[in-house]
Structure 1
């Protein structure tokens, strides 16, 4: 099925070129109707560079751009004609089915929360990110939407992540872990201990605390943390993979035997690189807002943009919003959960 996917052309370190190239890939390979949102002049220039006629695309002129360093809240309020605000408004008015942006994360979260509103029953949105593991992928939530969370906010992240993993990744009763400094229930800050009690009392498939070293182990399908911890974990992981790759190549190239070995290892190294490359996983769904919003990496390539659009299509083809609404309200109104919250 073909959907109308709104794409922010102005967002990302390699915009607009990589974004336009990603749109062309998605149009060709995913057979989706891509609505290009940004400076019309820049869009037409990039399409011309790719020997594409602007007449074949829906272009929404949004000449203002929210820079990465800008304050998200003030930028969303001031720049009504920015690609992010215009794109979210198009989603609100149902002129597009989903919105994808590799721009200022805070601005996307703020605009989506303000304009779209939250799914009834949800208190805070969260960014869920798919990470490679030994057994497949894990969904880490939150990686940057909210840094100051109450137990109920994090509890709802767990519910939303479980629903997403079940519907979009097709796994019944996915396992859920709580990112902490140790496996014992007594470890961690007060909010984490309270959250542990909530998860234990819930019908979710909660396996207990998960340490940072286990994020990529495949120990559980979904991992919950606040946006401050999640964003640090994400950046450490990205930096570690890049550094290890450099160290490995530098070490191997020091001797003739290493260079010969590198040639033999090259096919497997390429497979490893693909598995660890964020571009393969596209973008991160903003869960909890009343609409399909996907946030791409700031350094997204054309492949990453195409795959982010694929993430949006995967979400649209499932009844995600309605199921999150139902499950959040069912579980949060459970008498055992209410009892813990009132203690």
Structure 2
């Protein structure tokens, strides 16, 4: 199925677009030669770039627009002015059935606003959430929400857990992933009331293919203590950015340490293989590709500062989502959540 996926691409979004977008698409196509792309952006800029990658050019339809969603564009502005932008048209292609999934490295807030407006949320889902893989000592876990919803109620957190579990079954290949709510402690009486209420509901959702284990703390994320970490967007975004900053901090400390003396430089020669593995494991480009869950269509968000390698990873994530039929998985799980049975039946 992955070889038949058709991907709508916002070629103008991202710090290094459109060059890194085109190079990333070309690299992804080497791995998935049957995939086709609908590329939205400035034809005058993109056509010469595509000419450098004849096989990608042959597998792509280029749709011209000179409208771009800028990095400082507010979500409200995007809704009023950006329907014909490269981002808006990519989302519309998914809505119209002309593509299976949209990929963009553009403004996150604008992308979420446009995606909600154009694609709408799935029946039974109140708010979509942004989920992404995070590196851990065990390999990878997944985390959501990463900033799409600053404030969340009990229902939102429950829906995030269900959607996150479906996503984890796809990207981690687990039949029954472990799920926990991010809290200030693991004891049942800790944290805000919304967290405790969400935990009570999730304990009852035993028919969903996931294992709810209660609460987890921030220091357990990197250990990979659970497969799915659930939080409101404010908390999740801070946790993710803190982890990324800590990884860069440690990398810089190691660089300085190994360059501090001749003996340290000699030590680096013996340690460089392990350090290279560490760098690759922590490199955000190798874990790139957040997914907006809960929409009537698949949308993948690449890091704005991603390299071509990182954008390739986001495209591969998009292909995986299409292959797994993620929306169907979420739709199948929702009726088993207490409080969602009637809504699912009505839908």
Q: TM tier, shorter chain?
A: over 0.9
Runs of 4+ that moved beyond 6 A: none
TM-score after normalising by structure 2: 0.92
Following superposition, the deviation at residue 77 of structure 1 comes to: 2.0
**Is the Cα contact below 8 Å between 1:12 and 1:300 reproduced in 2?**
yes
Residue from 191, 201, 222 that aligns with 2:194:
191
Residue from 76, 81, 89 that aligns with 2:79:
76
Residue from 317, 334, 339 that aligns with 1:328:
334
Is it true that 1:147 corresponds to 2:150 in the alignment?
A: yes
Matched residue, 1:2: 4
Please list, as runs of the form range in 1=range in 2, the aligned pairs for 1:1-343 lying within 5 A after superposition: 1-31=3-33, 32-48=35-51, 57-203=60-206, 204-333=210-339
Any unmatched runs of 5+ in structure 2? Answer: 342-347
Structure 2 distance, partners of 1:299, 1:139, is 20
TM-score after normalising by structure 1: 0.93
Following superposition, the deviation at residue 52 of structure 1 comes to: 7.5
Structure 2 distance, partners of 1:191, 1:80, is 36
Matched residue, 1:340: none
Deviations 1:17-50 (A, max 9, x none): 1111101111222222122111111111323456
Structure 1 distance, partners of 2:244, 2:227, is 20
Query: How has the CA–CA distance of structure 1 residues 333 and 51 changed in structure 2, closer, same or farther, with 3 Å as cutoff?
Result: closer
**Is the Cα contact below 8 Å between 1:296 and 1:305 reproduced in 2?**
yes
Structure 2 distance, partners of 1:287, 1:148, is 17
Residue 69 of structure 2 aligns to a residue whose secondary structure is coil
Deviations 1:28-75 (A, max 9, x none): 222221221111111113234567895663101121111111101222
Structure 2 distance, partners of 1:56, 1:215, is 40
CA-based RMSD of the aligned residues comes to: 1.7
Deviations 1:79-109 (A, max 9, x none): 2221111111011001111100010111111
Following superposition, the deviation at residue 168 of structure 1 comes to: 3.9
Query: How has the CA–CA distance of structure 1 residues 68 and 173 changed in structure 2, closer, same or farther, with 3 Å as cutoff?
Result: same
Query: How has the CA–CA distance of structure 1 residues 255 and 35 changed in structure 2, closer, same or farther, with 3 Å as cutoff?
Result: same
Structure 2 distance, partners of 1:320, 1:56, is 25
Stretch of structure 1 that moved more, 193-202 or 49-58: 49-58
